[in-house]
Amino acid sequence: MNAKFPLSIAVLGSGKGSNFQAITDTIQNGSLNARIVCVLSDVADAFILERARRLGIPADYIDPAPYKTKLDGAAELKTIKRLRHYRADLIVLAGFMRMLKSRLLAAFSGRIINIHPALLPAFPGLESWKQALTYGVKITGCTVHFVDAGMDTGAIILQKAVPVLDQDTPETLHARIQEQEYIAYPEAIRLLIDGQCGAWKKS
């Protein structure tokens, strides 16, 4: 891989940002050769923005209006502009709850990854831990994958499995999956940095 290091990572998130925190912690303890150049959110009061600001990382809200489920139109163009401004090499979706559209995918082709709280291709979409409980599977987990135009369909980088216990509630199962997410996401980024992932390309 022909990358500059530390690798410049932009994080997009809509929620509490615990995966962003796990990646940041791994960078700070010296085991990931990367830096977070910005955090962008489609939710004005998302805690991920607050976490970033406390760490002195540029954190911008991007108004997604008028779209409810996708990043399109003016919001997509603004996002591309911000990502270019901060010279992001890798775009990391961490609880970002919108579908990415073609201009952003083309602008950062092969350089956008996501974490999903299930063992894809099982249970794509929303609240996958609830889908797993409803279906009655005994093992679920998390998946780090490249982002393409589909819903959680891109090439898989790595997965971690967790057991589903008889007494699980949606909350306990999601918490167990998240513990593995905090290990999986830094590990997947390290695979990219180390050139251990064939599908990875850098501009």
Which residues are designated catalytic?
116
Using H for helix, E for strand and C for coil, what is the string for 54-116? HCCCCEEECCCCCCCCEECHHHHHHHHHHHHHCCCCEEEECCCCCEECHHHHHHCCCCEEEEE
180 touches ligand GAR (CB under 6 A): no
> How many of the chain's residues bind ligand GAR (CB under 6 A)?
13
How far apart (Å, rounded) are the C-alpha atoms in residues 82 and 26? 24
Q: Does 64 bind ligand GAR (CB under 6 A)?
A: no
Residue range at the interface with ligand GAR (CB under 6 A); choices 16-24, 59-67, 80-88, 194-202: 16-24
CA separation for the pair 163, 161 (Å, rounded): 7
Question: Interface mask (CB under 6 A) for ligand GAR, residues 112-151, using x and -?
Answer: ---xxx----------------------------------
Query: What's the closest the beta carbon of residue 129 comes to ligand GAR, in angstroms?
Result: 8
In the list 3, 8, 11, 17, the residue contacting ligand GAR (rule: CB under 6 A) is: 17
Sign of CA dihedral 135, 171, 148, 158: negative
Distance CA 203, CA 1 (A): 10
Q: Which residue is at the shortest CB distance from ligand GAR?
A: 95
Query: Which residue in the set 13, 141, 154, 186 belongs to the binding site for ligand GAR (CB under 6 A)?
Result: 13
Out of 1, 16, 176, 202, point to the residue binding ligand GAR (CB under 6 A).
Answer: 16
178 contributes a contact to ligand GAR by CB under 6 A: yes
Query: What SS3 state is found at 184?
Result: helix
DSSP 201: -
Q: Alpha-carbon dihedral of residues 83, 190, 131, 127, nearest 10 degrees?
A: -30
From 8-16, 81-89, 161-169, 189-197, span contacting ligand GAR (CB under 6 A)? 8-16
Q: According to CB under 6 A, which one of 6, 15, 73, 170 is a site residue for ligand GAR?
A: 15
CA dist list (Å): 177 to 61, 121, 129, 139, 174: 27, 16, 8, 10, 5
Task: Name the residue nearer to ligand GAR (CB basis): 117 or 186.
Answer: 117
Q: Strand 34-41 vs strand 156-163: parallel, antiparallel, or unpaired?
A: unpaired
- Interface contacts to ligand GAR, rule CB under 6 A: 13, 15-19, 94-95, 115-117, 178, 181
